[in-house]
Structures are given as structure tokens and as C-alpha cells.
């Protein structure tokens, strides 16, 4: 499949191309152009025209176009899902799930397009002010740069582009170089649904080249980024004065309380699913599990039993549960981190074998010390660590012992413990009797500490993607 850039509605090809390969067997899926600074400049100029054209669309028109886009994505579910599996390596079941969520995210954005509100400002509440009446409105920013990661190229791009368009902003998207073909297809759908072609641009290419040029462009009013902490920090140091939304990584933790023995099997299965979905390459994958000593042994036994039933292999086959990681380099790093933890005293209790360049068995490791990267950093692979703790307080302390703070979970029957956990754990989202991997697309989603800045979920993304404009009338 020969990919192209979409700039001002035109397909743009380049001599120099980047190959996209199927992570399972490294076969060629397609190519994309290697866009550069010049392409970004042209795309931003097009987006400025797109922004002006969007002013001609009412909130109703924008909502209608987004509804139509949602229907179009749904009608092409199978095509999108197959492409997702080929580019990302996620299983076909997971790809179908992502397409369904993308339809929902675009529909939610359509609904939100109709309720972007301001409110009255009481000017006469200041001393001596009379005969002044005013209000504020939420207005679009103009051109927004959207930089997206490889793991959910469809739904996470929808989380940026659909709210941006709902609010009347034009976009330039720089998708992950691993998974750009899905994003090109999405942009075509949005244009087909009725948005001005100049309002939806895609420039493919490398992060340090096309991505960096987008970040530095003075006419781009906001960068909405999802990706790693390292890249997020570079972007914020390079972009200068503009708005930023940063959806970054994590090493999500969950605590299992001593009163949970009656359903330890069910929790173990949930935790394993949360750690091994998309081969652990979800920003809220369960990575660190802290289990009360009274139920620790049973939990470990159950999670290993279930993990061994998972079928690892070709993501195109219906029965596969766990597919490959994105590339050989990622697999090398993951294996290296497991070996490091073992050298530091941890023990692999199940899995741990590398089956090919990119396939790693779902792995459970116990007694992982704080100093091991498996504990302190984001592993982004099919590895869960299970450590023993002796109290809720210790569980909270362990979960907070992280540079990240995206989501966390607790399993308990004790209301006070649940509340204490929710109060004291430093994260953007707390799941009670649920794994931290749980997310619905309308909820406010985002992190604290190094997990990011700002919130997504269409209602909240629209707040980030609009500016407040105050308007005051003197009636004296
Ligand atoms: P990445 O940071 O390597 O790349 C993300 C995007 O940034 C890509 O499009 C890349 O080309 C671009 N990029 C790289 N260097 C750049 C630069 N200097 N300037 C501008 N753009 C640049 O991330 P990835 O490997 O694609 O994705 C995995 C990471 O994303 C993980 O850390 C994961 O936790 C995180 N993530 C977070 C969320 C969330 O919502 N919080 C969701 C999904 C993934």
C-alpha cells in the first residue's frame, strides 16, 4: 500500500519514503512519504485557510459532519481493523474494539459540538462598576498540531481531531511513523464527511523532522501530543509559547486488599487481561501489582494459571490473545529489563521466553526491587510484576513510588480503604474494584506528575482546545 500525505485535500507523494512493516513477521505493509519542514509549512498554510472556511460551518454543521464521519468509520470497520492489525500488530479482536471506540469518540465529539458554552460575568460585582454587562465565550484557537503514538492510531487520533473540529479548529496531524496508514484513512473519512479539505491535513514522517517542524511552527497555536514522557519533554522545550496537552506514559499500579480472597480468581484474570492487552503496550497497562500478604499466594497461583492459557502468536488469527510488540528494538529492551530485575533479586514465575524477534511470552515476575527499571519505568510490554505488601498504607506508598500518575486501581470491600486510596494516590484517575486499564472515552482522562498535562475525553479536550474570550458592553 503506497501511502501519501494529505495537504489541503491533495495527495502528496515524496521521493523518499518510510517503510511500514507488520510487527509479527516484518513483512512490508506499505510506505509513507518522509515529510519535512517544507511540507509542514505548506500544511500549516493550508490549515489557516481551513480554519477560515470552518468559520462558515455552524455548530450544527460541525456536529452533522462528525456524525457522518462516525457512520463512515463504522461502515468501514473491517478495513480499518485489518489495517490496524497490520500496522500495530494488535490482535484482530483488539482492532475491532478500537474501531468501535473510535466511532464512539467521534459521536461524543459531535454531541459536544452543540454545547460549547460561556457564561455571564458579573461586572457590577467590582466596586464602583455600573451599567456594564458582559459574558465570556469559548472560541477556537486556530491551527492545532496533533502528534500521535503508534499504539492506538485510530482512536487516539480521533480523541484529538474530533474535538478540535467540533470546536472549529483546523488540524495538522503528524502520526506515528509506524502506523500512519490508518490515520490517512481517517483524515479522508473526515473530509468525505463534509469538513473543508484544508482543515484536515496529515504530514507523515519522522518525529525529529516533521514532528519537530510542526512543534516549532509559530502559526500552530497548540500541540496536542500523546506519546512517551521523553518525547513530551523535548516537545515542550522546542515549541515555545503555545498551548500544550500532554498525554504521556505510566507504569500503572493496582492494590489487592486482604478481604478479596472470595474472588481472587476473577481479579487475577482481570489483572492479567489489563497487563497483556496489546502485548502490554497500553499507556494504562497494569504493570505493578501489590497484593496483601494474606491473599498473595493465591493471587500469584491464579494469575499464573490464567496467563498460561493465553494464546500468543499471529494477531491476524481470531484465536490469538497476545500478539507481538511493535519492533525488535522494543522486544530487546523488554527482555533486557526482565534480566536486569532477575539479576537484582526478582524471580520470573511464569512466561519470560522470547518466541521470535517481536513475540514475548506474557510474563509474571515477583519480588521486583524499586531500583529495577521494571519497577521504576514504563515497560510497555507483556510483563506484570507482583509484589507482596502488608497493609493498605504500604500499597498506597508503593503505587505512589513512581514518576508517573495516570491511573491506579484498588480491589477492596472496605469503603474507608477505597476512599483513603482515592484520596492519597497521586493519579489522574482512580478505579475502585476495577483495573487501572479501564477507560471510557467520555470520561476526563489524563495524568499528573510525569504522565502529563491536561485532560482528554471530548468535553474536556474541547476545553483545552478553546480560549476564553471576554466581551463587555458599556450601557451607560
Ligand atoms: P513516542 O514518544 O516515541 O512517539 C509519539 C509521537 O511523537 C510519534 O508520532 C513520533 O513520531 C513523535 N515524535 C518523536 N520525536 C519527536 C520530536 N522530537 N518532536 C515531535 N514529535 C516527535 O511514543 P510511541 O512509542 O509512539 O508511543 C508509546 C508511548 O505513548 C508510551 O509511553 C505510552 O504510554 C504513551 N501513550 C500515552 C497515552 C495517554 O493517553 N496518556 C496513550 C497512548 C500512548
Question: Residues with catalytic annotation?
Answer: 247, 283
Tens of pLDDT, residue by residue over 199-256, are: 999 999 999 999 999 999 999 999 999 999 999 999 999 999 999 999 999 999 999 9
Name the residue with cell 476545553: 463
Q: Rounded to the nearest whole angstrom, what is the distance from the C-alpha of residue 448 to the centroid of ligand 1?
A: 17
pLDDT digits (tens, 9 = 90+) for 144-158: 999 999 999 999 999
Q: Is 380 in the pocket of ligand 1 (CB under 6 A)?
A: yes
Distance 292 CA to ligand 1 centre (A): 34
Does ligand 1 come within 6 angstroms of the Cβ of 169? no
Looking at the CA of residue 159, tell me the nearest atom of ligand 1.
40
End-to-end CA distance of the chain: 67
CB-based contact 446:452 (threshold 8 Å)? yes
Local structure of residue 379 (DSSP, 8 states): -
3-state helix vs strand vs coil in the chain, percent to 5: 45, 25, 35
How far is Cα of residue 471 from the mean position of the Cα atoms in its chain? 36
**Could you tell me if the CB of 228 is within 6 A of ligand 1?**
yes
Predicted confidence at residue 109, as pLDDT, reads 99
Q: What is the pLDDT of residue 33?
A: 98
Q: How confident is the model at residue 434 (pLDDT cuts 50, 70, 90)?
A: very high
In ligand 1, the atom with minimum distance to the C-alpha of 214 is: 20
Cell of 405: 500518575
Distance, CA of 436 to CA of 362 (rounded, Å): 18
What confidence score (pLDDT) does residue 373 get?
A: 98
Mean of pLDDT values over 437-448:
98
What does the pLDDT read at residue 31? 98
Please indicate whether residue 148, judged by its CB atom, sits closer than 6 Å to ligand 1. yes
What does each C-alpha distance from 108 to 48, 112, 131, 280, 441 come to in angstroms?
26, 6, 40, 27, 8
Q: Do domains 5-248+451-474 and 253-440 have the same CATH topology?
A: no
Across residues 54-79, what is the average pLDDT? Answer: 98
CA 283 to centroid of ligand 1, rounded, Å: 10
Look at residue 310 in the predicted model and tell me its pLDDT.
98
Tell whether ligand 1 has an atom less than 6 A from the beta carbon of residue 235.
yes
Q: What are phi and psi of 298, to 5 degrees?
A: -65, -40
Mean per-residue pLDDT, 118-135: 98
Pocket test for ligand 1, best of 34, 40, 213, 228 (most atoms within 8 A of CB): 228
Ligand 1: residue whose CA is nearest its atom 14:
207
> Distance between CA 69 and CA 212 in Å, rounded?
29
Q: Cell numbers for 284, please give them.
A: 494504562
Q: Does residue 98 have its Cβ closer than 6 Å to ligand 1?
A: no
* Ligand 1 centroid to residue 298 C-alpha, Å: 37
CA of 191 to the centre of ligand 1 (A): 25
Q: Which CATH architecture has domain 253-440?
A: 3-Layer(aba) Sandwich (3.40)
H/E stretch holding 119 reads strand 119-121
Dihedrals φ, ψ of 397, to 5°?
A: -60, -40
Going from the Cα of 250 to the center of ligand 1, the distance in angstroms, rounded, reads 12
Average pLDDT over every residue of 16-33: 98
**C-alpha cell recorded at residue 33:** 512519504
- Cβ burial of 241 (10 Å; 0-12, 13-18, 19+) is exposed
What is 174-237 written as a DSSP string? Answer: E--TTSHHHHHHHHHHHHHTT--GGGEEE--S-IIIIIHHHHH-TTEEEEEEES-HHHHHHHHH
Averaged pLDDT of the chain: 98
Residue 249, ligand 1, Cβ within 6 A: yes
Q: Per residue in 241-297, pLDDT tens?
A: 999 999 999 999 999 999 999 999 999 999 999 999 999 999 999 999 999 999 999
Ligand 1 proximity of 207 Cβ (cutoff 6 Å): yes
How far, in whole angstroms, is CA 159 from its chain's centroid?
Answer: 8
Grid cell digits, residue 433: 474494584
Domain spans of the chain, in order of start: 5-248+451-474, 253-440
Q: Could you tell me which of 239, 222, 69, 208 has the C-alpha nearest to residue 160?
A: 222
Sign (positive or negative) of CA dihedral 421, 425, 431, 433? negative
Q: What does the pLDDT read at residue 200?
A: 99
| 62's grid cell | 460541525
Please answer whether residues 211 and 205 qualify as being in contact, where contact means their C-beta atoms are separated by less than 8 angstroms: yes
Structure confidence at residue 42 as a pLDDT band (50, 70, 90)? very high
CA of 88 to the centre of ligand 1 (A): 14
* Contact (CB, 8 A) for 360 and 334: yes
Residues 164-171, mean pLDDT to the nearest whole number: 99
Q: What is the mean pLDDT of residues 104-123?
A: 98
Q: Does residue 234 have its Cβ closer than 6 Å to ligand 1?
A: yes
Please report, rounded to a whole number, the percentage of residues in the chain having pLDDT higher than 70: 100
Phi, psi for residue 459 in degrees, rounded to 5: -60, -40
What is the Å distance from ligand 1's center to 147 Cα? 8
pLDDT tens-digit series, residues 320-360: 999 999 999 999 999 999 999 999 999 999 999 999 999 99
What pLDDT does residue 303 have?
A: 98
Is ligand 1 within 6 A of the CB of residue 358? Answer: no
Pocket test for ligand 1, best of 90, 227, 380, 444 (most atoms within 8 A of CB): 227
Segment 75-81 mean pLDDT: 98
Other Cβ atoms within 10 Å of 293 Cβ, number: 12
Name the residue of 154, 231, 443, 461 whose CB sits within 8 Å of the most ligand 1 atoms, as the mutation to test its pocket. 231
Which residue, by CA, sits nearest to atom 43 of ligand 1?
283
For residue 132, give the nearest of 121, 119, 116 by alpha carbon: 121
Short-list 409, 452, 447, 150, CA closest to 286: 409
What pairing do the DSSP bridges indicate for beta strands 220-226 and 243-247? parallel
Classify domain 5-248+451-474 at the CATH topology level: Aldehyde Dehydrogenase; Chain A, domain 1 (3.40.605)
pLDDT at 133: 97
Residues whose CB falls within 8 Å of the CB of residue 95, separated by 6 or more in sequence, listed in order: 80, 81, 82, 84, 85, 88
Question: Which atom of ligand 1 is nearest to 149's Cα?
Answer: 26
Amino acid at each position: 500500500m503506497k501511502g501519501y500525505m494529505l495537504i489541503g485535500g491533495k495527495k502528496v507523494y515524496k521521493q523518499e519514503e518510510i517503510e511500514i512493516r507488520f510487527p509479527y513477521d516484518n513483512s512490508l505493509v506499505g510506505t509513507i512519504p518522509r515529510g519535512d519542514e517544507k511540507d509542514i509549512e505548506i500544511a500549516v498554510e493550508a490549515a489557516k485557510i481551513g480554519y477560515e472556511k470552518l468559520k462558515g460551518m455552524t455548530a450544527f454543521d460541525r456536529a452533522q459532519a462528525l456524525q457522518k464521519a462516525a457512520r463512515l468509520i463504522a461502515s468501514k470497520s473491517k478495513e480499518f481493523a485489518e489495517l490496524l492489525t497490520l500496522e500495530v500488530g494488535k490482535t484482530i479482536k483488539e482492532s475491532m474494539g478500537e474501531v468501535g471506540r473510535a466511532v464512539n469518540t467521534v459521536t461524543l465529539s459531535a454531541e459536544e459540538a452543540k454545547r460549547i458554552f460561556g457564561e455571564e460575568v458579573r461586572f457590577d460585582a467590582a466596586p464602583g462598576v455600573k451599567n456594564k454587562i458582559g459574558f465570556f465565550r469559548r472560541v477556537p484557537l486556530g491551527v492545532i498540531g496533533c502528534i500521535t503514538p503508534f499504539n492506538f492510531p485510530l482512536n487516539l487520533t480521533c480523541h484529538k481531531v474530533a474535538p478540535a473540529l467540533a470546536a472549529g479548529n483546523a488540524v495538522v496531524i503528524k502520526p506515528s511513523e509506524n502506523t500512519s496508514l490508518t490515520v490517512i484513512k481517517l483524515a479522508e473519512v473526515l473530509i468525505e464527511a463534509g469538513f473543508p479539505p484544508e482543515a484536515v491535513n496529515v504530514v507523515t514522517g519522522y518525529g525529529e523532522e516533521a514532528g519537530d517542524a510542526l512543534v516549532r511552527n509559530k502559526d500552530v497555536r497548540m500541540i496536542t501530543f500523546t506519546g512517551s514522557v521523553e518525547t513530551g519533554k523535548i516537545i515542550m522545550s522546542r515549541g515555545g509559547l503555545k498551548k500544550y496537552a500532554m498525554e504521556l506514559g505510566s507504569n500503572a499500579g493496582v492494590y489487592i486488599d486482604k478481604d478479596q480472597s472470595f474472588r481472587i480468581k476473577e481479579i487475577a484474570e482481570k489483572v492479567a487481561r489489563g497487563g497483556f492487552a496489546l502485548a502490554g503496550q497500553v499507556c494504562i497497562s497494569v504493570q505493578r501489582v501489590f497484593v496483601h500478604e494474606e491473599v498473595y499466594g493465591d493471587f500469584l497461583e491464579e494469575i499464573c494459571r490464567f496467563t498460561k492459557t493465553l494464546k500468543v502468536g499471529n494477531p491476524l488469527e481470531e484465536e490469538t490473545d497476545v500478539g507481538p510488540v511493535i519492533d525488535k528494538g522494543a522486544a530487546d529492551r523488554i527482555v533486557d529489563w526482565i534480566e536486569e530485575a532477575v539479576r537484582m533479586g526478582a524471580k520470573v514465575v511464569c512466561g519470560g521466553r522470547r518466541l521470535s524477534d517481536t513475540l514475548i511470552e506474557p510474563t509474571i515476575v515477583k519480588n521486583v526491587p524499586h531500583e529495577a527499571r521494571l519497577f521504576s519505568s514504563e515497560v510497555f510490554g507483556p510483563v506484570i510484576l507482583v509484589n507482596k505488601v502488608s497493609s493498605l498504607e504500604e500499597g498506597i506508598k508503593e503505587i505512589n513510588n513512581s514518576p508517573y500518575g495516570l491511573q491506579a486501581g484498588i480491589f477492596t470491600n472496605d469503603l474507608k480503604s477505597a476512599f483513603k486510596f482515592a484520596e492519597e494516590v497521586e493519579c489522574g484517575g482512580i478505579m475502585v474494584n476495577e483495573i487501572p486499564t479501564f477507560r471510557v472515552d467520555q470520561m476526563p482522562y489524563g495524568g499528573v506528575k510525569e504522565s502529563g498535562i491536561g485532560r482528554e475525553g471530548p468535553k474536556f479536550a474541547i476545553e483545552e482546545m478553546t480560549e476564553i474570550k471576554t466581551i463587555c458592553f458599556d450601557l451607560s
